[in-house]
């Protein structure tokens, strides 16, 4: 069954080539297609394009199908092209000609658009929750290890003293900025394209503001041509937000790989959380973090993939856009998996104490000595030269004392402010409003 088919049978090779990935990804869209249809029929009845009796019949069956999909999953029947065709086919099987009325005033173009918007909105919410869990773990680790020092590096050369509290807290604050960008992407996602039809609107008197409210969208895409142009652009913006989260995780994974190296030896994991070598019995490999690093680097390439897939497309719908799903949709699960593994591994991460007691790290305190002399009245450049000469002559003897008190330093992590910023971002997502709207659509 194809919504567009008349009397021509499409060549099977053409059909396979143009719809192959739909069978893999359409099950993800099925619940959202039903939600979009529920809102659409309510609107059709409100503007007089559907009788109240037909709307009630359709609403009842759509809710039944939604419950069946939630309980048993979704699969396309043989010969059915996509999720939209399958749901309309089920309705027609159960209700006869009434089921065929569901498509009035819309196209598959705006139907898939609203499905993707609702799907992305749901996945972003899951990602926000996962990121928040990991953020809380990082803040907890930062507080627990605020007194545990480790070397800080620039150019991968010894630089100045740092701490595990500072290190964990840095990545917590990085997630705040990532959350900010995810919120911006969510704002673009949370606009309703339904009613734009094939990209040029409809002669029916549709009430697009009504479907916007019913589906819990903050606003709608007003211009019907742009509503269609937003496909591809919306996914690219979401991919950019995902890539920033991935960049944070990839960088943290790289740090852990370095810090587990015996030449660093700052952190370790129980044997059950590392892998070994087939010929070197001493090996404890950080495979989990290496895979996280690679997965996240793949996700960082995603915006560029979508850019190339959509480059030079004119306005209007093009089948090229269908391929974005198979690149973007799996990225969410990959990020969930990486965040879950980080949480598992960091639950068992062992921190080495008293690292800076080792004499090899004595030069980390050179800046402390320079600053100490500046406080005694010596000009900075003179103090710098004095300490530099002592280091060259092998006479430098650091005290090992630290006194960092400004905001965000070793002695003043400002974690409570980082938590405040994260909470501000979390509270800006209108998830409660969305849940109320969809609950009303499914149960009222």
pLDDT band at 284 (very low <50, low <70, confident <90, very high): confident
SS3 197: coil
Taking the C-alpha atoms of residue 429 and residue 419, their distance in angstroms, rounded to an integer, is 16
The gap between the terminal CA atoms of the chain, to the nearest Å, is 32
- Angstrom CA distances, 57 to 53, 74, 89, 221, stand at 6, 22, 15, 30
Domain(s) labelled CATH 1.20.200.10 in the chain stretch across 109-145+164-356+414-443
pLDDT at 3 over 70: no
Q: Which residues of 214-237 are buried (b: 16+ CB within 10 A; e: fewer)?
A: bbbbeebbeebeebbbbbbebbbb
pLDDT band at 432 (very low <50, low <70, confident <90, very high): very high
pLDDT at 5 over 60: no
How confident is the model over 209-237, as a mean pLDDT? 96
CATH topology for 109-145+164-356+414-443?
A: Fumarase C; Chain A, domain 2 (1.20.200)
Q: What's the pLDDT at 282?
A: 76
How confident is the prediction for the chain on average, in pLDDT? Answer: 93
Q: What's the pLDDT at 278?
A: 63
Of 345, 228, 371, the C-alpha closest to 291 is: 345
How confident is the model over 224-235, as a mean pLDDT? 95
pLDDT band at 1 (very low <50, low <70, confident <90, very high): very low
Q: What's the pLDDT at 4?
A: 42
The pLDDT tens digits for 343-385 are: 999 999 999 999 999 999 999 999 999 999 999 999 999 999 9
Q: What's the pLDDT at 10?
A: 65
Q: What's the pLDDT at 18?
A: 60
Strands 191-192 and 219-220: parallel
Domain(s) labelled CATH 1.10.275.10 in the chain stretch across 12-104
Length of the chain measured in residues? 444
pLDDT at 25 over 90: no
Architecture of domain 12-104: Orthogonal Bundle (1.10)
Taking the C-alpha atoms of residue 191 and residue 315, their distance in angstroms, rounded to an integer, is 19
The pLDDT tens digits for 91-146 are: 999 999 999 999 999 999 999 999 999 999 999 999 999 999 999 999 999 999 99
The pLDDT tens digits for 286-333 are: 899 999 999 999 999 999 999 999 998 899 888 888 899 999 999 999
The vertex-397 CA angle with 393 and 398, nearest 5°, equals 130
pLDDT band at 23 (very low <50, low <70, confident <90, very high): confident
């Amino acid at each position: 069954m194809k919504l567009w088919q008349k009397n021509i049978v499409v060549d099977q090779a053409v059909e396979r080539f143009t719809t192959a990935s739909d069978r893999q990804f359409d099950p993800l869209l099925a619940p959202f297609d039903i939600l979009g249809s529920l809102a659409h029929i309510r609107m059709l009845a409100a503007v007089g394009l559907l009788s109240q009796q037909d709307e009630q019949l359709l609403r009842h069956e759509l809710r039944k199908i939604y419950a069946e999909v939630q309980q048993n999953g979704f699969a396309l029947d043989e010969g059915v092209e996509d999720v939209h065709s399958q749901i309309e086919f089920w309705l027609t099987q159960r209700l006869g000609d009434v089921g065929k009325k569901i498509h009035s005033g819309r196209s598959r173009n705006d139907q898939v658009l609203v499905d993707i918007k609702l799907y992305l909105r749901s996945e972003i919410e899951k990602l926000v929750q996962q990121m928040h869990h990991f953020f809380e773990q990082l803040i907890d680790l930062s507080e627990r290890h605020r007194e545990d020092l480790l070397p800080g590096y620039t150019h991968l050369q010894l630089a100045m003293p740092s701490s595990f509290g500072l290190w964990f807290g840095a990545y917590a604050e990085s997630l705040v900025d990532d959350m900010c960008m995810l919120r911006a992407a969510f704002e673009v996602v949370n606009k309703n394209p339904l009613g734009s039809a094939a990209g040029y609107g409809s002669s029916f008197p549709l009430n697009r503001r009504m479907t916007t409210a019913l589906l819990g969208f903050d606003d709608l895409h007003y211009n019907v041509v742009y509503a269609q142009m937003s496909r591809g652009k919306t996914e690219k913006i979401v991919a950019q937000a995902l890539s920033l989260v991935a960049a944070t995780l990839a960088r943290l994974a790289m740090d852990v790989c370095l810090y587990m190296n015996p030449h660093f030896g700052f952190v370790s994991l129980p044997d059950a959380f590392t892998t070994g070598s087939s010929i070197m019995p001493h090996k404890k490999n950080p495979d989990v973090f290496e895979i996280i690093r690679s997965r996240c680097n793949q996700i960082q390439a995603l915006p560029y993939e979508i850019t190339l897939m959509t480059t030079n497309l004119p306005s209007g719908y093009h089948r090229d856009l269908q391929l974005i799903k198979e690149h973007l949709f799996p990225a969410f699960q990959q990020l969930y998996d990486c965040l879950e593994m980080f949480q598992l591994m960091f639950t068992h991460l062992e921190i080495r104490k008293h690292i800076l007691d080792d004499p090899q790290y004595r030069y980390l305190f050179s800046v402390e000595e320079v600053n100490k002399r500046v406080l005694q009245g010596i000009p900075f450049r003179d103090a710098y030269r004095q300490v530099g000469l002592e280091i060259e002559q092998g006479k430098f003897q650091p005290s090992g004392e630290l006194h960092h008190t400004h905001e965000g330093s070793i002695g003043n992590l400002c974690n409570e402010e980082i938590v405040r910023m994260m909470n501000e971002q979390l509270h800006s997502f209108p998830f409660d409003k969305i849940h109320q709207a969809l609950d009303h659509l499914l149960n009222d």
